[in-house]
Amino acid sequence: MIDTNCTEACEAMPDCTVCHRRKHPRGRDPGVYAASGYCEHECPGHELPPHAGHLWPGELKRSREPAADGEGE
């Protein structure tokens, strides 16, 4: 469940200043095939600013949309 205090900043996926690849959301698994396109945890810039949010882009909007018939029951 997404926190009600989440904002668009929670979906931030900035570029790493060291490897110049996009940072995936903190604590989220990008999957084995997508992982090679993101800044890796071993990169020295992974934990440096700018920091990634904790949500995937669009996740906040989807969480605020009404559930379709039969979903979420």
> 72 falls in which pLDDT band (50, 70, 90)?
low
* Other C-beta atoms lying within 10 Å of the C-beta of residue 3: 11
In a domain, 33, yes or no: yes
Q: Which domain holds residue 38?
A: 1-64
Residue 64 in tokens: 């605020």
Is the pLDDT at 67 greater than 70, yes or no? Answer: no
Domains of the chain: total: 1
Angle 67-70-72 from CA coordinates, rounded to 5°? 50
* 3-state DSSP helix/strand/coil % of the chain, to nearest 5: 20, 5, 80
In a domain, 19, yes or no: yes
**What pTM does this model have?**
0.75
User: pLDDT value at position 43?
Assistant: 94
The pLDDT tens digits for 1-58 are 577 789 999 999 999 999 999 999 999 888 877 767 899 889 999 999 999 999 999 9
User: pLDDT value at position 18?
Assistant: 98
Which of 67, 9, 18 lies closest to 26, judged by CA? 9
Beta carbons of 25 and 52 less than 8 angstroms apart:
yes
